[in-house]
Amino acid sequence: MNIFVGNLPFSMDNSQLEQAFAVHGPVSSATVITDRETGRSRGFGFVEMDDDAARAAIEALNGSDYDGRQLTVNEARPRNSR
Please list the pLDDT of the chain residue by residue as tens digits (82 residues): 999 999 999 999 999 999 999 999 999 999 999 999 999 999 999 999 999 999 999 999 999 999 999 999 999 998 887 7
Question: How far does the chain reach from its first CA to its final CA, in angstroms?
Answer: 24
Longest dimension (CA), the chain: 36
Please report, for the chain, the start and end positions of each structural domain, with discontinuous segments joined by +.
2-75
> For the domain 2-75, what is the CATH superfamily, name and number?
RRM (RNA recognition motif) domain (3.30.70.330)
- 8-state DSSP, 63: T
- Entry pTM: 0.92
